[in-house]
Amino acid sequence: MIDMTHHHADLGDVILHYVKAGSGPVVVLIHGIPQTWYEWRHVIPHLAEKYTVIAPDLRGLGDSSHPTDGYDKKTMSNDIWRLLQSLNIDNFYLVGHDWGGPTAFSLAAQHPKSVIKLAILDVAIPGDGADFSQNGRRWHHALFRTPDIPEQLFLGGREHVIINWLFDNYGYLPNCIGVEERTEYLRTYVKPGAMRAMFSIYRALPQDASDNQAMLAQRGKLKMPVLALGGDKSFGRGLETLESLKRVAENVQGGLVPNSGHWVTEEQPEFISKELLKFFDHQ
């Protein structure tokens, strides 16, 4: 039985909640939306048998604090960097799903000597030259970026409407995220400031694309090994994740997560765990 312990790190402008488990080399897991560290609950026990796992809640989400700004991915990735520095961690494996992917990419681009290997799950990288929102297929991107309207639609006891819709439709099976899991996610997203933070993460997309393009122009593509996996069903990104990472990194491998939509860590945790361990362990 792997023991997962909960901690908080006060970084000054933000307090990050994180979960820690296992021992050995460090693996950092960065969650997506509308999820929290909790999306990794079935993956952590597998990784923690060989690694020290750190799974933070992003700025504004989960049980972290809710600053009014700082939701561009350079700032959010710097939160993770400062957390790791406070724990005296200088080298680590890094994994990001959904918006955790662009956050992980930014962290790897800014601190390439510290990231041993990088894994990106079912997301593209803003500024890679393609359309992050799939030409409108991911329609909620535009909605969430629109000023004021999403707050009016989904606050005041209506947060569950959009969260349930995303879980119902972006997975392969409508019930792939169960009632208990949705209750845990909703617990954190109804906190004052949480939905504002979520919308702010989307609203920072143009800045993220610009920042990434500038880093790529200055420093070139990522050099560390990269694993890129996308869900093969429904709203899974499919091979788009692999194609995106090939545009921004030199040493990329990957493919599809079978029988999975977008929620790959919860729809196929055994597969994800196996692929991550194989990727980390391979010399």
Select which of 31, 46, 97, 262 is catalytic: 262
CA-wise closest residue to 109 among 124, 94, 122, 89: 94
What token pair was written down for 266? 């919860």
Which residues does residue 27 pair with via DSSP β-bridges, in sequence order?
A: 53, 93
Tokens 């609203």: give the residue.
Answer: 203
Asked if residue 277 lies in contact with residue 47, where contact means CB atoms within 8 angstroms, the answer is yes
72 is catalytic: no
Where do we find the tokens 């504002």?
196
Would you call 202 a catalytic residue per the annotation? yes
DSSP classification of residue 124: P
Q: Say how many C-beta atoms besides its own lie within 10 A of residue 131's C-beta.
A: 12
Q: Edge to edge, what strands does the sheet with 26-30 contain?
A: 5-10, 15-22, 52-56, 26-30, 92-97, 115-121, 226-231, 252-257
* 98 labelled catalytic: yes
Nearby residues of 136 by Cβ (< 8 Å), 6 or more positions away: 142
Q: What is the dihedral of CA 212, 213, 215, 217, to 10 degrees?
A: 160
Residue tagged active-site, from 202, 208, 211, 232: 202
Planar angle of CA 199, 200, 202, nearest 5 degrees: 70
The catalytically annotated residue of 57, 63, 79, 98 is: 98
Beta strands 115-121 and 226-231, pairing class: parallel
The CA-to-CA distance between both ends of the chain, in Å, stands at: 28
Q: What is the separation of C-alpha 184 from the centre of its chain, rounded to a whole number of angstroms?
A: 17
Catalytic residues: 98, 202, 262
